[in-house]
Structure 1
Amino acid sequence: MKLVIYQTSDLHGYVYPTNYVTEQPLGILKIGSYMKKDELNYDASLKIDCGDLVQGSALTHYLYKHDMQTNPIIEGLENINYDAYVLGNHEFNYGLDYLNKSYSPVSDKIINANIDGLTLNTKPYKIFEFDGFKIGCIGFTTSFVPNWERPCNIEGLTFNDPVKTYEKYEKELKENCDFIIVCYHGGFEKSIEDNTTPTEALTKENQGSELLEKFDSIDMILSGHQHRSFITKIDNRICSQPLHNGQNFTKIVIDTETKDISYELVDVKDIDVEIDEKLQSIFDDTEAKLQVYLDQEIGHFDRDIVVNDIFDVRLNGHPIVNFLHEVQLEVAKADLSALSLFDSTIGFKKNVSIRDVLINYPYPNTLKILKVKGENIKKAIEKAATYFVLEDGKVTVNIDFLVPKVQHYNYDTFGGLTYEIDLTKDFGNRVVSMKRNGEDLDLEKYYSVVMNNYRASNTSIYPSYEGAEVIGEINIDVSEIIIDYIQEKKNVKTIDNSNYKIKY
């Protein structure tokens, strides 16, 4: 028989083919409509989602804020007849009550081998049988979650090492299955070409390569988390990871008799399918209410501050950068501010709606205030300065921020001071000036620095923050802070001049 396996991951609540500004080729409606039609070409199907499903879009923000009785995103995937779910790290962003409420209808379909303490009725693995051919699917979530998540959102939970956990279950999987699939909300820490060359710091955030190295019993890894786009064979085993927001998905066909396997990533832009009416009907009412909510006008800028070229904004500054620093500094009453621009940043028209804020800041980050020594602030700016490199006299992005995973969000700008970077100098010596209130930043003095909770916690990227004392927390989503700021000001004056200069 021919069995088709579909895998999605990092859908982040993108249902309709839009980012709520322009139409885009992505989303659950197109993917689900394709699956429901395409699976009729095969004898059986298996559908798996590998996490980061119920957070990350304007829709998910709305659902969280409006306490829906059931989560239509889960309801939609059930309409598509998904067989298994893995929890992603972003599933915990809205707290355990929201997670439990969202996933309780599919509690028995969640495969979770390495998170202890969940009240959901999860199972470490599930075995699916197709005419005597048994496929075992074991589920893992990156054990790095406690490094990012607010403690109150994961209280009572333990995130165990996936590699050590697989070892615990390997024997029974081998004895009871013909084919073993690791369904992992995590990625690969080494090159997918040779599985030997590290492509990132080996922090255990991503352990796909380590799983392959240690266990020859694994036949396939369906991964996520890194927002990469690949399907390939590593050590003759199929490994896949779809892009985020439902831009593509995995399709694998197994002939259970001959053991022949074909595989591909299906790009949504290439799908020509009529949207399934029953699937769409699940979302129509919520979508209509969402549009009204998003269009609520909350205030005004004194002019448009639209982003036309985000690379240029990162390099040369922009009023949107000044505005975001202004918000963080005022709400935190901090000396300095650190922040990154997300790829979704489009800036603001003069009249501002909730939609505009959520597009520019789609993530449920909160703010932390750290006590940081001046010399470590300089190290942080030096780290940010490695984002740019000179190639033939032209400024471009350092390959380390692009491969194996695009990480533009790890380039920070800094507010509350003026600083100058010289790209002609070596890494670590590029910061040539840092001034606060007209005087050189004191490298021996401690300053309060406000930044989002991800940056404050993920010190593997900015190690100069490691061990810094947390002297304040603002446990309100940054998007809500921005909305409140604009609503209170009503009319926001833009600041044109950038506080940093990058020479090259």
Structure 2
Amino acid sequence: MKFTLIQQNDTHGCLELHEELFWDSKGPILKKVGGYSRICKYVKDVKKENNNVLFFDGGDLFHGTLPLLASRGNAIIPLLEKMPLDGFVPGNWDFAYGKEQLQSLTNNLSFPSIACNLKDQDTGRPLLKPYIVKEMQGVKVGVIGLTYPYVDITMPPSFSKGMIFSTGVDEVQDYVEKLKAEVDIIVLLSHMGLPLDAKLVNLVNGIDIVLSGHSHDRVVKPIILNNTYIVQAGSSASFLGRLDITFEDDKVTEVKYELVTVDETFEEDEEVKEMVNSILAQYETERSTIVGETKVILHRSTLEEAPMDKLITDAYLSSFDCDVAFSHGWRYGPPMAVGPLTLYDLHTIIPANPELFTLELDGVALLEALENNLEQVFSSEPFDQKGGYILRSSNLMMTYKPNNPKGNRIQSLQIAGENIDLKKVYKIVGGGGQLFKMHEKKKVYQDIHAIDLICSYLKEKKPYDVKVGMDILSV
């Protein structure tokens, strides 16, 4: 018996063909890829060829570009009705509009939403179905949902209000035991991130396949741990993960896997193409308004620092009399090519459009915050890894050892060209509630939002360029 699993994850509102970053011997290059019309046509064609095909979304479906933010996720609902999806697990950004809106969005989907580690705080009951069972010709597949467990810790408070999150280890174990007697194959549809998924499958026996999400990893060869296959399909609707599975004598006997790059050669589903064009047409003003230009590829595909985020922090620092500027180490957002930047591009670079704040911290508190961030990125315990990349910054230079113990990674730190003084009070500029969350009460919000500020900066400093050399280095 053979069947096929296809996954997309972390699409973040990338509805159309867009630039994607790839690495070759010359460094980063861009290629046009992605879009819902190409994904839809590809999956529909596979399903026509074979009845035993399931297609799942691994989360961060309702957030990431202007049409989704402006409509609180609603704009994509009619489009998703045309996509041949069989299930969905929410990602951390799918909670951006609060509990009631998440429930409204998922209630309007034509496919089930699942998460075993998410409860309603008022009732203590699961907010969504913990799992689903899909019966195909000759094989039953149990699919357990596992959402991001740290929404209440890493995201603004409004994201998690009224909900309870857990790591899901106990819940997954319970549902695996329950499903063993009911199904032939157990699949975990997860938005935990690759390191956490790898740890989980060593704690829980009996999971056959993990369709991983959240960490935007382009897995080109399945990771096999504890007899479990783990895969993940990049981000930004640029890739699909395809598993062709042979099942014989009550066990998986062969797995063929491909990370599918959805490039320009893929045919488009014409109905979905028209729907995407209709959605985007509502934002023609933003798409046609040129706000500046860049001399470098803007991307956030590197761990320590990236040009897309340097644009943000440079703009912040230029507008306030501060010692250092910070922005969160987000992973979302497709790259932008050298050339003009539109207002729509800025809404893709920083879709949350946070309000700017200033914050005063002494050297001890600042050093502690930076060490805590490094722990969240590099912790040797996967379940202590939270958030995305290293905090983005301007006017800061740092060397660090990623494998050192917690609190002892930073080797050198300079602010505004001088070694950090633990007794000095530093003035910081940043944006939003996700950044320096532990110091929220000390923040002074400035009644200006990131996109307006970046627009002004690009107008004044055009074209944008970044200096040669790295400010943050592992040593």
**TM-score range for the pair, normalised by the shorter chain length:** 0.7 to 0.9
Aligned pairs for 1:334-349 (under 5 A) are 336-339=324-327
1:313-367 CA-to-partner distances (Å, cap 9, x unmatched) read 9999999947744536757x76642236878565996x86313423543455565
Partner of 1:414: 394
Residues 132/475 of structure 1: CA separation in 2 closer, same or farther (3 Å cut): farther
Do 1:319 and 1:497's aligned partners in 2 also have CA atoms closer than 8 Å?
no
Match of 2:61 among 30, 53, 61: 53
The aligned residue for residue 366 of structure 2 is 377
Counterparts of 1:111 and 1:19, CA distance in 2: 31
Comparing 7-16 and 23-32, the one that deviates more: 23-32
* 2:233 equivalent to 1:242: yes
Asked if 1:492 corresponds to 2:460, the answer is yes
What TM-score comes out, normalization by structure 1 length? Answer: 0.71
Alpha-carbon separation, structure 2, partners of 1:328 and 1:297: 22
Match of 2:422 in 1: 443
User: What are the residue-to-residue correspondences of 1:66-105 with 2, within 5 Å?
Assistant: 66=71, 70-72=74-76, 74-105=77-108
CA distance in structure 2 between the partners assigned to 1:85 and 1:49 by the alignment: 5
Residues 368-387 of structure 1: CA deviation (Å, up to 9, x unaligned): 6544222343566799999x
Q: Does 1:160 align with 2:179?
A: no
Name the counterpart of 1:4: 4
Does residue 120 of structure 2 align to residue 112 of structure 1? no
Matches within 5 A, 1:100-499: 100-106=103-109, 109-117=112-120, 122-131=128-137, 133-189=139-195, 206=196, 208-230=197-219, 231-257=222-248, 259-269=252-262, 272-297=265-290, 305-307=294-296, 321=310, 324-327=313-316, 330=319, 336-339=324-327, 353-362=342-351, 369-377=358-366, 409-410=389-390, 412-415=392-395, 428-431=410-413, 434=415, 442-452=421-431, 453-457=433-437, 468=439, 470-472=441-443, 474=445, 481-485=449-453, 492-493=460-461
- CA displacement, residues 418-475 of structure 1 (integer Å, 9 cap, x when unaligned): x66689xx974433x5459xx9864213334233444424xxxxxxxxx546312659
* Alignment CA distance shift 1:64-1:168 (3 Å): same
Aligned mates of 1:212, 1:252 — CA distance in 2: 18
- Shift in alpha-carbon separation, 1:28–1:6, aligned structure 2, 3 A: same
Aligned to 1:16: 16
Residues 474, 141 of structure 1: CA spacing in aligned structure 2 closer, same or farther, 3 A cutoff?
Answer: farther
User: Could you tell me how far 1:152 is from its partner in structure 2?
Assistant: 1.7
**Aligned partners of 1:379 and 1:428 also within 8 Å:** no
Secondary structure of 1:227's match?
coil
Judged with a 3 Å threshold, the aligned counterparts in structure 2 of structure 1 residues 382 and 147 are, in CA distance, closer, same or farther, namely: closer
* Greater Rg by CA: 1
- Asked whether the equivalents of residues 61 and 91 of structure 2 are also in contact (C-alpha less than 8 Å), the reply is yes
Mapped partners of 1:221, 1:317: distance in 2: 30
Give the gaps of 5 or more residues in structure 1.
190-205, 387-397, 458-466
- CA separation of 1:410 and 1:345: change in aligned 2, threshold 3 A: farther
- Sequence identity (%): 21
- What stretches of structure 2 of length at least 5 have no aligned partner? 22-29
Q: TM-score, normalised by structure 2?
A: 0.75
In the other structure, the counterpart of 1:392 is none
| Equivalent pair of 2:315/2:454 in contact (CA under 8 Å) | no
1:381-412 superposed Cα distances (whole Å, 9 cap, x missing partner): 799999xxxxxxxxxxx9x9xxxx9x994153
2:198/2:230 contact within 8 Å kept: no
Q: Is the 8 A contact 1:27 1:247 kept in 2?
A: yes
Report the residue type matching 2:15 in the other structure: V
- 2:13 maps to a residue whose letter is G
- Distance across 2 between alignment mates of 1:251 and 1:448: 49
Q: Which residue of 1 aligns with 2:50?
A: 42
Q: Distance in 2 between matches of 1:153 and 1:306?
A: 36
Between Structure 1 and Structure 2, how many residues are aligned? 439
Distance (Å, rounded) in 1 between the aligned partners of 2:423 and 2:142: 57
1:136–1:502 Cα change, 3 Å = closer
Q: How has the CA–CA distance of structure 1 residues 112 and 488 changed in structure 2, closer, same or farther, with 3 Å as cutoff?
A: same
Partners of 2:313 and 2:182 in 1: how far apart?
55
Contact 1:48 1:83 in 2 (8 A): yes
- Sort the Cα spacing of 1:34 and 1:348 in 2 relative to 1 into closer, same or farther, 3 A: closer
CA distance 1:337–1:125, shift in 2 (3 Å): same
Change (3 A) 1:322 1:442: farther
Instruction: Using the TM superposition, give the Cα deviation of residue 269 of structure 1 relative to its aligned residue in structure 2, in angstroms.
Output: 4.5
Aligned mates of 1:79, 1:496 — CA distance in 2: 41
CA deviations on 1:287-336 (whole Å, 9 max, x unpaired) are 222333322356x6xxx55225879x9999999947744536757x7664
| Counterpart residue type for residue 242 of structure 2 | K
Aligned-partner residue type, residue 113 of structure 2: I
Distance in 2 (alpha carbons) for counterparts of 1:153 and 1:503: 31
Structure 1 residue 52: deviation in Å?
0.9
Hey, what's the Cα distance between the residues in 2 that align with 1:2 and 1:36?
Answer: 18
Q: Distance in 1 between matches of 2:135 and 2:160?
A: 34
Classify 1:346/1:51 alpha carbon distance in 2 versus 1 (closer, same or farther; 3 Å): closer
CA shift for structure 1 position 271: 7.7
Q: Report if the CA contact (8 A) 2:7-2:55 is conserved.
A: yes
Question: Using the alignment, how far apart are the partners of 2:68 and 2:298 within structure 1?
Answer: 31
**Deviation of the 1:226 alpha carbon:** 0.9
CA offsets, 1:209-262, max 9 Å, x none? 332222222111111111112223223322111111122222223345565433
Does the aligned pair in 2 maintain the 1:339–1:414 contact within 8 Å? no
Rounded to whole Å, the distance in 2 between the matches of 1:237 and 1:489 is 49
